[in-house]
Each structure stands twice: as structure tokens, then as C-alpha cells.
Amino acid sequence: METRSAKKRRLLTIRNDVVEAQGGTTDHISELPDAVLHHILFLLPIKTVAQTSVLSKRWKSLWSTFPDLDFTTFNPNATVSSSDPNSNRRRRKSHSHSPITANDMGFITQVLTLSHKHSDIRVLRFRGRLSFSRLNGLIRSAIKHNVQELDVEIATDDYFNFPRCVVASKSLRVFKMKSRYPGFRLPPASVMTGGFQSLHCLSFSLVILYNQPSLSDLFSDSSFPLLKKLSLDACFGLKHLHVGCRALEDLNLDNCFQLQGLDVSCAKLDRLRVVSCFDGYVAKSWVRINAPRLRIVVWEDNSVTDSCCMVEDSNEMHEASVGLLQEEDLSVTKLQSVSNLLLGLSSARCLTLESRLVEIISNSNYFAVYLHPFNNLKSLELHTGFNKNNVPGLACIFRSSPVLHTLILKIVNDYKIERRKWNRDLWDMSSTEEEQYWESQIQTLKSFLHHLKVVEIHGFLECENEVSLAKFLLKHGKALEEMTLCTGHWKGRDSLRRQKIRSQIMGFSWASSNAKITFH
């Protein structure tokens, strides 16, 4: 059996032979600058990086000064366990999504303790379940090493208070704190105001803000002079929010369902995303958006507010998506709020309207007068149940899109609504009610029909409303180049009927000689 010393001599001989075969070259990797080697090591899991410290004194030094500590690579599927005991049992049974263990947290503490006292930490990321005192200790250690990016996802047995040492940090550029149930509390406004002077990106998840109304004015230039990206998720007790950060470019609000008032005034704001806020069970709700450089807006799963004012200033708007929650008949005040929201998005070039909004436009005569034209709109995606009542609403939207290039219809099939199948053989040759309606709209849709080039209809089931629209667009779309009809899976005798309907559609009169129809 080979002894340890003999094995070492053999490996050394092999290394020398390799070096000699390469013309006397040396270990070029070890000669690279520390910054380059740190960048290479950042591509490896943190435990693998730690193991390189045994190679030589040089590599031990590299490890002790390694600035990018991403402890989430312990387990690529690692998440913090939730409060649902049943889900915890399911996780343990499947042996997946395991949280970081106590030993792992001990390793993190040891690494921070052994880090060179003169070396800075550029990135620190970790996930786990731990006590507030241990969390506070880890963050304090990171702040002492002038951490620039701090990304934490933790669960505790009780509410915990936000670590105050973060507020005064002069090195921190990115701070993300994602809490699991039961969440964390922020310090009073007197502590928070005036801090975060170097922060560029802030993300909070599951914050408890009950009885702290003063924090609604926290996001201002005095506290966040350099903030460019702000994300707030599941902020319980947040009723009013004012955001006035001069440098802010990206604002993301999720699951703040108790929100009653939102005031955003940011000259550089480029992207606004508000999802699952405004639950609709309050006496009065309002929105004011003053962002002249706003380019992307996502406004989805929100109740209709009682008032909305979105300053529509220039042609900066590129993309917008609007989806509203199901509500009963809307008052005139709320219809006006919807109209004002769409007015603020009227310069968009790409627009997506969810099915509830299409229904609101269809079921009210208000929008026949007050739907502002989308004069820059090139691409429109509509989600609709495509029942008979929605046809006037679709015509209203088309009429307000005079230069549209691409129309995408995604049909939401509601099986509670009976939709009449297309079967031309059972009808006389006179036009159907839907066809007559579309024919009556030719003059008001003239510009729309002269610009439309691409049509996609997804969920096409060959029902009367769908076929009538396809026929109308083929018959009068003078610029039409491509129509794609995406249907479901047909089997047996249904497939024969499908082929028959395809033949009928192909036999319609076409206004454009360049048009092509594709079935999927």
C-alpha cells in the first residue's frame, strides 16, 4: 500500500513532468490578480470556494478576502419553511426544498468571523430559520465589513424588529429582506428618516405596519436620495403610500391589499408595477401618478379605485397591461376612474387588457364617449370571454386604435356561457346578427381596418362570434398580411367538422391579396 509521503512525492513528480512538458510554464491561474480570481470563484458554490483554501497559502488568502458570499448555493432548492404545518410535512416527505440547517448557519457565522478584518464584503446572501439575535449578529458583522449587497430570506418563531444597524450603513447599495410568517416590524420614522443615504435598491417582503402611519411618507428624497428600485410585497397595515424619490426608476408593489391611497411623484420613474392591491372594501380609494417618463406599467388584479389621476404627458409610454378584479355594477365615479386610468396609458405602443376590463367597456355606454384614442398603439392583446355582450366593447376598443398593426385575441372560455357553434349549412345565406353588427361599424373602423396587418386568435373554437369577426377582418382588412387561428384539440367526428369550417373560412372574400391564414 502506498504511504502518504510516497503519494505526495508521486503527485509532485507528475506536476513537475507536466510543467516541464509545457516548456517550463508555471501555475498561471495562481498568478492571476486577486480581483480576477475572486470573479472566477464567484461562479462556484460557496463550499467549493472554501475548499480551495487548503491548496496553498495564496489560496487561503483568497478565501479569507473573498468578497462575494452567496450561501444560498448550499442547496439550489433551499427555501425557508412556511407557517403551514401541512406544507412542512409535505416538504419533509419529499426531501425537497429543505431550509438551511443550523450547521450551515454556524458555517456562515464562522466565515464572517474569519474574514480578513481589512477586507470588505461585496455580496452576502443567505436563507434560513434563526432567532432575531442571531440574525442581528450576522447583519452587524456584514455591516462592519462594509457590505454592498445584502440579500436575506429568513423565518423566525415570532415577529422581529428590523436591524437598525442597516439604516446608518454608508456602504450598502442593495438591501433585500424577505421574511416568512409572522413578518417583521420597521423602526419608527424618527429612526428611519435620514438613513439609507447610499442605497440604490430596496426590497421588503412581509412587513407589519399597523399603527405606523408616519412610515407612509418614508420614501422621499431626504431618506432615499439615491434609490433607483423599490419593491414592497405583503405590507400589512399599509393604507396610504407616498413615493417621491427623485432618482427612482422602478417601483413594484405586490399584495398590499389594504392600500387605500397611492401617490407617486417621481420624475425619473421608468417602470411601475402594482399587483393585488386595493381590495375594494373601503369607503374611498384613490390613485395619483405623476411620472412623465413612465415607460412600462403593469396594473393587474386591483379593484377599481374611486378616483384615478395619471399624468399623461409625453410619448414615453411603451408597454402597459391592465387587469381589474371582478366587481358588481360600477358607479359613474368608478367608470370615470377607469377612463382616467386608460387616458394615462393612451400613448402606449403595446397594450394588454384583461377580460374584466373588456367586460366593463362592453357593458357601459360610458366608454362609447369617454374612451380616449390610443393614437400610438401598434400591438394590442385582449383577453375576452367573447360572448355576445362583448362584441360592442371590442368594436369600441378597435375604434380607439386607429393605427394598430398587431391584434392578439386570447379567448377565455367560460363554460357557463353558452356559445353558438358556427354551422353555415343550418342557416340561410343572410348575415347573422354579429355579422350585421360588424358591417355597421365599417366607417367608424376605417382607419383600424386600413392599418391592421397581423391577427392572432387563441382559443378559437369556431363559434359564431369568433367566425363572424374573422370573416369581417378578412373581408375589410385591406392591409391584412397574416391571420393565425389557434384552436384546441379535436378528435373523431369533430375533426371532420373542423375541416369543413376551415374550408368555409378559406372561402370568405378577402380584401387583401397578401393575406395568409394559418391554423394551429
Q: Which of 107, 111, 135 is nearest to 121 (CA)?
A: 111
Asked if pLDDT for residue 88 goes beyond 50, the answer is: no
- Answer with the residue of higher pLDDT: 491 or 339: 339
| Strands of the 261-265 sheet, one edge to the other | 219-220, 240-244, 261-265, 286-290, 307-310
Instruction: Measure the CA–CA gap between 49 and 69, rounded to whole angstroms.
Output: 10
Cβ proximity of 192 and 218 under 8 Å: yes
High-pLDDT (> 70) share of the chain, %: 78
Residue with C-alpha cell 426531501?
95
- Listed in sequence order, the residues at least 6 apart from 415 whose beta carbon sits closer than 8 Å to its beta carbon are none
Quick: pLDDT tens for 467-498. 889 889 999 999 999 999 887 655 444 566 66
Asked if pLDDT for residue 98 goes beyond 50, the answer is: no
Place 10 in a pLDDT band, splitting at 50, 70 and 90.
low
Per-residue model confidence (pLDDT) at position 349: 96
Q: Which of 295, 273, 278 is nearest to 347 (CA)?
A: 295
Asked if pLDDT for residue 95 goes beyond 50, the answer is: no
* Helix, strand, or coil (residue 167): coil
The identity of residue 293, as a single letter, is R
Asked if pLDDT for residue 505 goes beyond 90, the answer is: no
Whole-model pTM: value is: 0.81
| Residues listed for the chain | 520
Give the residue-averaged pLDDT of 177-206.
89
Cβ burial of 43 (10 Å; 0-12, 13-18, 19+) is exposed
Quick: pLDDT tens for 235-259. 999 999 999 999 999 999 999 989 9
Give the residue-averaged pLDDT of 413-434.
57
Per-residue model confidence (pLDDT) at position 424: 53
Instruction: Measure the CA–CA gap between 392 and 381, rounded to whole angstroms.
Output: 17
- Answer with the residue of higher pLDDT: 333 or 27: 333
Asked if pLDDT for residue 231 goes beyond 70, the answer is: yes
Asked if pLDDT for residue 347 goes beyond 70, the answer is: yes
Place 416 in a pLDDT band, splitting at 50, 70 and 90.
low
- Measuring CA to CA, how many Å separate 23 from each of 16, 18, 20, 26? 11, 9, 5, 9
Instruction: Measure the CA–CA gap between 282 and 280, rounded to whole angstroms.
Output: 6
